[in-house]
Amino acid sequence: MDQRLYETGLTTDQFIAQLGANREKFEQLLAECVLDDEQRRALADSPAYNVLVIAEPWSGDVLYNLPVLLCTAAAAGWSVRIFRRDEHPELIMPYRKDGLYLSIPVFVFYDTEFNEVANWIERPAVATKTIDDESLALRRRLREEHKAAWRQATLAELLTLPRDLNA
């Protein structure tokens, strides 16, 4: 990471100013983030980090996870700069989730010489597992509850396709 590029990122206040409709909820979640004494002690020994954040104001995962990073960074004395994913697509490419998805937020931790030491993407693993499990259960339930109607809708849509698919 080039330090000059890093410095062009948004400050926390600049990003919060761009949140629009999510600003109130974001500020509430930020205010609710409180570290206990053990967490503060652990951060007291933390190296100095420069944290690059890739985010967008509309993202639910940004809304819920960026306040935790900001709270942690404030307690640890880390520097944070935020880049909008859609304005800086080159930044997220190395951090595609599963090599495919442009998931946000992305937190990239650099040492004082701007060497990458760690990164974190989207949400905690336990949240992803819960969301995936619940989504699968919901899809299965909805398919079963609506199977007759959805089959008829499928048939109706198939009948509207051109008769000669090579046309």
- Given the DSSP bridges, would you call strands 50-55 and 116-121 parallel, antiparallel or unpaired? unpaired
Of all residues in the chain, the percent with pLDDT exceeding 70 is 98
User: What is the DSSP secondary-structure string of 72-96?
Assistant: HHHHHT-EEEEEEGGG-HHHHGGG-
Alpha helices in the chain (DSSP H): 3-7, 12-17, 23-32, 37-44, 60-76, 89-92, 125-145, 147-159
Q: b/e map of 95-115 (b: 16 or more CB within 10 Å)?
A: beeeeeeebbbbbbbbeeeee
Residue type (1 letter), 44 = A
CA distance 38 to 74: 16
Q: What pLDDT shows up at residue 32?
A: 94
Is there a contact between 92 and 106 (Cβ–Cβ < 8 Å)? yes
Cα 6 from Cα 12, distance rounded (Å) = 13
User: 31-55: per-residue pLDDT in tens?
Assistant: 999 999 999 998 988 889 999 999 9
pLDDT digits (tens, 9 = 90+) for 3-37: 999 999 999 999 999 999 999 999 999 999 999 99
For residue 159, which phi and psi values (nearest 5 degrees)? -70, -15
Q: Return the closest-CA partner of residue 36 out of 26, 28, 44.
A: 44
> Per-residue pLDDT for 154 more than 60?
yes
Residue 117, SS3?
A: strand
Q: What's the mean pLDDT in 74-103?
A: 92
Q: Give the side-chain half-sphere CA count within 13 A for 45.
A: 4
Structure confidence by residue, pLDDT tens digits, 120-137: 998 887 877 888 888 888
